[in-house]
Structures are given as structure tokens and as C-alpha cells.
Chains A and B, each alone.
Chain A
Amino acid sequence: MKKSVLYVVIGLIIIIGIALGMLKGLNYSLEYQANEKVELYIGKVVDRKDIEEISNNVFGKNENKVQIVEIFNDMVAVTVKDSNDEQIENFVNAINEKYGVEYTKDDVEVIKESQMSIFDIIKPYIVPIIIALAIAVIYIAIRYHKLGFWKTLLSAVLWIIVIEALLYSIYAITRLSVNATTIPIALMAFVFTVLGISINNENKLKLIKKDVKE
């Protein structure tokens, strides 16, 4: 009973998640979505934290990301979703005040970056994951063939799809930011699902062996 309730809940989350994902898309982080890189050569060694403080005041907290350009720590790039003249002017003024320099907004270079395609992000992972999945699942089906070859094989594939779909749905429903950590998290989920399947089948096999002995 408890299991069926869990399956219904998982099913509902996946349906809602996929529907939301199709309607609203995922919430891509700044580095993946279309953005602007506001670059300024300051000419003095800067502290990243100071620039972050200035950027938070000008562009809004959690709405910018600061990077140091080149190796001399004297040029910065602030990634924002979009910027306007007033924000650029305020940014330059704050930098001028902090570092005692005299720059104008004309010294700022704004580089427009388009959105990264989701296919380009996941493309390098598709083939190796399919190969790894195929070999691992075939191994599981052979190792636990006493539980039914096709049943074990299909349930393993199904569980992996369900868990990855669940992860996608969680991202879609909670509007969690899709960033550089998302793929490693998905890989972790993949490994743990395979581990879970393996442990579960091992336990089932033990029970069968126990029953046979009795």
C-alpha cells in the first residue's frame, strides 16, 4: 500500500514537472542563459569581494556573477542578465570611487552572449551514458537472471529513467537553477540508482536462496 502511494506521488511529480518544463522551460543560471558581460579594465589590482559588493549594489544581489579577467587581477567582468545605461554609469562611478580612477561608461565593454542550447550542454554525455547504462543493465540482468532476465533488465532501465525524470521534475517544479553542478548531480543520481537496483536485487536473490534452503 505504502509503495503504491509512493509510486503515485513520484508519477504525479514527474507529470507536473514535465508539463511545467514544457510550458515554462527550466530555470537556467546566468552563465547558461542569454546574458551580458560588463567588462572594465581598472588598471589596479582589485579584490573580487569588493567588486562583488559593488555589483550587488548596482545590478542586484544574486543577479550577477563576478569574474576576474586575465591574470593581473586588474580587469573585471560582471555577468548580468541585462544592463542599462544607468546601471553601467553607477557601476563605473562606484569603481572610480573605490579605486580612485576616472573612467566613464564609454570605457566599459558590454559583450552580449546568447543562451546555451540544452542539447549542446548534454550532447557529450549522451553516448557514454547510453553505453554505460547498456553494459551495466545487461550485467545486472545476467547476474540476477534468477529474478527473471527481462523483468530485471526492464525494471533497471525503467528505474533509471524514472529517477532522472524525477530529478528533471524537481528542477522544473522548484525552479532550481540549472548550472554547472546540474550534470554532476544527474550523474550522481544515475550511479546511486544503479547501486540501489543492485542492492535491491541482491536482497531479493538472498531471499530466494533462503526460501530454497528452507
Chain B
Amino acid sequence: MKKNSVLKILVIVVAVILISLISFVGIYKQKHGVMENILPDYLLGKDVSGYRMVTLKVDESTTKEETDETNSEEKATQENTSEDTNTTNTEENTNTVEENENNTVDENTANNTSTEGNTEQEETKENILTKENFEKSKEIVQNRMKYANISEYNIRVNEEDGTITLELPENTRTDEVLQYLTLKGDFTIIDADTKEVLLSKNDLKDATIMYYPDSTGTTVYLSINFNEEGTKKLEDVSKTYIETTDENGESTKKTITMQLDGQELLTTYFGETISNGQLQISIGNSTKDATELNDYINNASYIAMVLNNDMMPLTYTLDINQYVSAYINQDILKIIIIVAVVIMAILIIYLLVKYKASGLCDAIAFIGYLALLMLIIKGTNIYITLGSMAATAVSLIIQFIAMNSVLKANKEKRNINETILNTTIMLIPIYIIAIVFCFNSWLQLSSFGATMFWGLLLSSIYNYLVVKNILVIKSEDK
């Protein structure tokens, strides 16, 4: 072998080893007397690092109140009906008076009514605590999480008592999202003095977030859009709830209060008539600070998340809220890594046996490919999940197939460039799949797609720049 060729191959091999060392070990620098890796850490998904386990329990007390409300409504309807009957049927009135004269009958009637009332309450409670309502609540929670861009979660509902168990990724947003997930979503606009309900959730169309930049910064607005009926109601309300000045020059304000689940969002009055059905509420103050602005946007989007989804049929309360480590522990990860190393070793041995010296160089290049892919995963902030691990395995196998075809082409004295191009064209359907998955918000899919995409792209470039050149240098030498 010529000295020049040996040197070229040696340079490539040393570069690959260096990249492998950087990727698998890191770059260490002394910082405050301690050696620290200056490369960023891998981002870990919930199936590898751990997750927040949350249970939402049906609030029985509220359910009881709801039952009572339903009962009193029913009772009121019955009373009305009874009044109507009383005025029309005199015979029945006489009978009732006769019965009232008899104390024993009266007591019995009272007991019967009470028992009937309890049974009715139980029946109504049974009507509320149904499998359908539990399932609907689960769907609403799922929709809210989708709206809040929760990248992955597990949800289950107990069909007997309606308890919802959630497994959410642990991050800075988890607690904020949880606060809003448990809300019933009962939005009302009431008269601040009389508490009369002026507009309700049924009058809403949707809620969107808007930004208005001005000289002092950016203001975040929550735009509440009303439906046709709501628009008319809002117009009337905006005409009534205004600031008025009497003859003496004294001003009086008629105010409304916006509520979410009974909690006051805002108390205000209208400066002008709103006829377009859009009510804009500013969230926080105008700001130039990115973190502050982000907080306002998050707050607005959480309220929008609740308003844009149905109202929960039941009231839920947060029961258990704890961080739990992942089922996949360090030992399982070690096993996965060992299995991957063994498979790679088998593939390398295959290359060595089949292609001898060329196989050795490409075996080293194969390790370099994995090292580069891991560096890209780190650099592009792809989360390490089971999905991305699977995609890494697929990328390695594809790279092996591609390298094998390049080595075969070299052995058969075919054009290497053409082989690499053909392989890349053959991989286009996989590129399509990877790109589609990349744009999905579900972490398992997006990490799978992103890893696949970079794996494929790296494979084409790497084979052209490294694998091909090793073979070219070797054949030039011959």
C-alpha cells in the first residue's frame, strides 16, 4: 500500500474515532475545579426519564349539589304542575285537606315523601354518575391536553367510579396545565350586583389568542367569540352595562363579571356597543420581556383550551399528583445498549468476513455513523424515547444495507456514485414517512420521524463523503 493512501485512510479513521469519542464520551473542560462535559445532555422522553402520575376523582359533594339542584328543579316543576292541577281539580283539593286532618296519614305521607326524595336523589345521582359521563369527561380531558400541546400522555378511566388516571410528561408546564385540566369549564358573564346570568358557555363560539404590539411592548388578548345568539345578547349587554352620568354630574357604572367555574376572571363595564360578537380581554400588561410574554400567552391559551372544549359533565378534583420514575430503568437501558452493541458487532464481523480490508475500514466508518447520528440527536434536541431508539436501530440497519451495496458495487467494479444515488432514491418513501412523522406533535412519532430523517440524510452524505472515499483511496492504491 502506498504511503499516501495509508495516510489518507489513517486520517479518515482517526477522524471517525475522534467523532466517536466526542459523541460517546463527550468533551470535558475544567469548570470550578470539576471536569464538566460541555456538550448538552440528551433530552429524555417520559418513557425513559419518568412522568407525572395524576388521578382526578369525581367530586361527590358537587355531584350531590348538582343532584340537589336537579331535584329542586324537578320539585319546582312538580309544584307548578301541582298548582295547575289544584286550580283545575277541586275534588283532589278536598281529598288533600281531608288527608291533612289525619295526623297519622300526614306523618306517613312525610316519611313517604322523604324516602321518595332520597330514592329520587339516588336515582338522579345514578343518572349523573354514568359510564357515558365518565367517558365524555375523559374525552374532554384528552381534547384539552391536545389543545395544550401535551406531547405524550396515557389516560385511563375507571368505569365504576369515573376516576381518571393520567400520566403526563414532567416539565415546567405540567402544574399549570393540571390547574386548568380539572376545571369544569362553566363560563358565565353575570350582572356584578344581581348575579343574574347574562351570557353562558352555550353562547360561545370559540376563543382565540391575539397579540398587539405597541411602543411599550406586546399585549396578549384572549378574544372570546360568541355565536349568533350570543352576539345578540352581548350587544344588548354592552348597551346596558355602561357608565352613565346623571343630571348632577354623578356617574354610575353598571358592571358585569366574567366567571370561569364561579371564579372571577374580570369585572368591567362597556365603553362602546359590541355588535361583532367579539370580546377581547387583555391578559397581563404590555411587556417586552420574552419570559413574561410567554407566561401571558400560556395563561391565555389555557383559558382558551377550557373555553374551546365542552363543559365537563362532572366536577373533578385533583387527588394524587406525584412524579414517578419510568418503568424503563437503567438496567433495562443497559440491556438495550448491550443488545444493540452485539447486533452491531455481528454486522461488523459480516463486513470483515465478506469484504476483508475494505470491510475493516467500513466497519470503523459504521461506528462513526452511529456516533455522528447520536451527536445530531443531541444537537437537534430530539427527545430520547422508545420511538427514537427504534428509529436509530432502523437507521443503522439502513446504513448497513447502503454500505453493503456500496462495498458490493466496489467489488463488482460498478459506479459507486450511481449506487449511492440509487440507494437514496430507493429511500425516498422512507424520507416521506419520516417527514410526515416529524410534523406530528405526539413525541413518540416526532422523535421517531426526526431521528429517521437525520439518519437517512446522514447515511446518504456519509456514504458519499466517507465510505466512498475510503474505497476510492484503496482502489487508487491498487
Residues of chain B lying within 8 A (CB to CB) of residue A198: 426-430
Return the contact of B327 from the options A113, A125, A180, A191 (Cβ within 8 A).
Answer: A180
Report whether B156 and A131 are in contact in the complex, using a CB–CB cutoff of 8 Å: no
User: What interface size band does chain B fall in?
Assistant: 35 or more
Could you tell me the distance between the alpha carbons of A133 and B430 in the complex, rounded to whole angstroms?
A: 10
Report whether B386 and A135 are in contact in the complex, using a CB–CB cutoff of 8 Å: no
Could you tell me the distance between the alpha carbons of A115 and B160 in the complex, rounded to whole angstroms?
A: 12
Residues of chain B lying within 8 A (CB to CB) of residue A180: 47, 327-328, 386
Report whether B427 and A184 are in contact in the complex, using a CB–CB cutoff of 8 Å: no
A12 proximal to B (CB < 8 A): no
Return the contact of A120 from the options B156, B323, B389, B398 (Cβ within 8 A).
Answer: B156
User: If A69-B323, A187-B448 touch, does A132 touch B394 (CB 8 Å cutoff)?
Assistant: no
- Identify the interface centre among B328, B397, B440: most chain A CB within 10 Å of its CB: B440
Could you tell me the distance between the alpha carbons of A121 and B152 in the complex, rounded to whole angstroms?
A: 11
A-binding segment of B224-232, B256-264, B287-295, B431-439: B431-439
A124 proximal to B (CB < 8 A): yes
- Identify the interface centre among B155, B324, B393, B422: most chain A CB within 10 Å of its CB: B324
Could you tell me the distance between the alpha carbons of A136 and B426 in the complex, rounded to whole angstroms?
A: 11
- Name B324's closest neighbour in chain A (CB-CB): A67
B442 proximal to A (CB < 8 A): yes
B157 proximal to A (CB < 8 A): yes
Could you tell me the distance between the alpha carbons of A116 and B158 in the complex, rounded to whole angstroms?
A: 10
Return the contact of A65 from the options B327, B428, B448 (Cβ within 8 A).
Answer: B327
B115 proximal to A (CB < 8 A): no
Could you tell me the distance between the alpha carbons of A197 and B433 in the complex, rounded to whole angstroms?
A: 14
Report whether B436 and A131 are in contact in the complex, using a CB–CB cutoff of 8 Å: yes
Residues of chain B lying within 8 A (CB to CB) of residue A112: 158
Report the count of interface residues on A (CB-CB < 8 A): 45
A163 proximal to B (CB < 8 A): no
Report whether B429 and A194 are in contact in the complex, using a CB–CB cutoff of 8 Å: yes
Could you tell me the distance between the alpha carbons of A132 and B444 in the complex, rounded to whole angstroms?
A: 15
- Identify the interface centre among B159, B328, B432, B437: most chain A CB within 10 Å of its CB: B432
Report whether B158 and A195 are in contact in the complex, using a CB–CB cutoff of 8 Å: no
Residues of chain B lying within 8 A (CB to CB) of residue A132: 432-433, 436-437
Could you tell me the distance between the alpha carbons of A113 and B156 in the complex, rounded to whole angstroms?
A: 8
Return the contact of A77 from the options B55, B324, B387, B428 (Cβ within 8 A).
Answer: B324
Report whether B430 and A191 are in contact in the complex, using a CB–CB cutoff of 8 Å: yes
- Name B330's closest neighbour in chain A (CB-CB): A48
Report whether B430 and A195 are in contact in the complex, using a CB–CB cutoff of 8 Å: yes
B80 proximal to A (CB < 8 A): no
Could you tell me the distance between the alpha carbons of A182 and B444 in the complex, rounded to whole angstroms?
A: 12
- Identify the interface centre among B322, B325, B444, B448: most chain A CB within 10 Å of its CB: B325
B452 proximal to A (CB < 8 A): yes
A85 proximal to B (CB < 8 A): no
B390 proximal to A (CB < 8 A): yes
A149 proximal to B (CB < 8 A): no
Report whether B325 and A68 are in contact in the complex, using a CB–CB cutoff of 8 Å: yes
B445 proximal to A (CB < 8 A): yes
Report whether B386 and A184 are in contact in the complex, using a CB–CB cutoff of 8 Å: yes
Report whether B154 and A116 are in contact in the complex, using a CB–CB cutoff of 8 Å: yes
Those of A138-182 within 8 Å (CB) of chain B:
139-140, 143, 180-181
Could you tell me the distance between the alpha carbons of A50 and B346 in the complex, rounded to whole angstroms?
A: 35
Return the contact of B323 from the options A70, A183, A185, A199 (Cβ within 8 A).
Answer: A70
Report whether A139 and B324 are in contact in the complex, using a CB–CB cutoff of 8 Å: no
B266 proximal to A (CB < 8 A): no
Could you tell me the distance between the alpha carbons of A195 and B390 in the complex, rounded to whole angstroms?
A: 15
A114 proximal to B (CB < 8 A): yes
Could you tell me the distance between the alpha carbons of A111 and B57 in the complex, rounded to whole angstroms?
A: 12
- Tell me, rounded to whole Å, the shortest Cβ–Cβ distance linking B334 to chain A: 13
1/0 per residue A66-97: CB within 8 Å of B? 01111100000100000000000000000000
Residues of chain B lying within 8 A (CB to CB) of residue A185: 390
B255 proximal to A (CB < 8 A): no
Return the contact of B444 from the options A69, A117, A184 (Cβ within 8 A).
Answer: A184
- Tell me, rounded to whole Å, the shortest Cβ–Cβ distance linking B78 to chain A: 38
1/0 per residue A14-43: CB within 8 Å of B? 000000000000000001000000000000
Report whether B433 and A192 are in contact in the complex, using a CB–CB cutoff of 8 Å: no
A207 proximal to B (CB < 8 A): no
1/0 per residue B316-335: CB within 8 Å of A? 00001011111111000000
Could you tell me the distance between the alpha carbons of A115 and B158 in the complex, rounded to whole angstroms?
A: 8
Return the contact of B429 from the options A113, A128, A136, A183 (Cβ within 8 A).
Answer: A136
Report whether B320 and A111 are in contact in the complex, using a CB–CB cutoff of 8 Å: yes
Could you tell me the distance between the alpha carbons of A185 and B427 in the complex, rounded to whole angstroms?
A: 19
- Identify the interface centre among A131, A187, A190: most chain B CB within 10 Å of its CB: A187
Could you tell me the distance between the alpha carbons of A121 and B393 in the complex, rounded to whole angstroms?
A: 23
A114-B165, A194-B433 known, 18 other contacts, Cβ within 8 Å: A69-B325, A113-B158, A115-B156, A120-B155, A124-B152, A132-B432, A135-B436, A136-B433, A180-B328, A184-B389, A184-B448, A187-B391, A191-B452, A192-B397, A195-B398, A195-B430, A198-B426, A202-B422
Q: What are 22 A-B pairs at a CB distance below 8 A?
A: A68-B324, A70-B323, A113-B158, A114-B158, A124-B152, A125-B442, A132-B432, A132-B433, A136-B430, A136-B432, A139-B429, A143-B428, A183-B444, A184-B386, A187-B391, A187-B445, A188-B393, A192-B394, A194-B430, A194-B433, A195-B426, A199-B426
A residues sitting closer than 8 Å to B (CB atoms) are 31, 48, 65, 67-71, 77, 111-117, 120-121, 124-125, 128, 131-133, 135-136, 139-140, 143, 180-181, 183-185, 187-188, 190-192, 194-195, 197-199, 202
Closest A-B pairs by Cβ, 6 of them: A184-B390, A132-B436, A136-B429, A124-B442, A68-B325, A132-B433
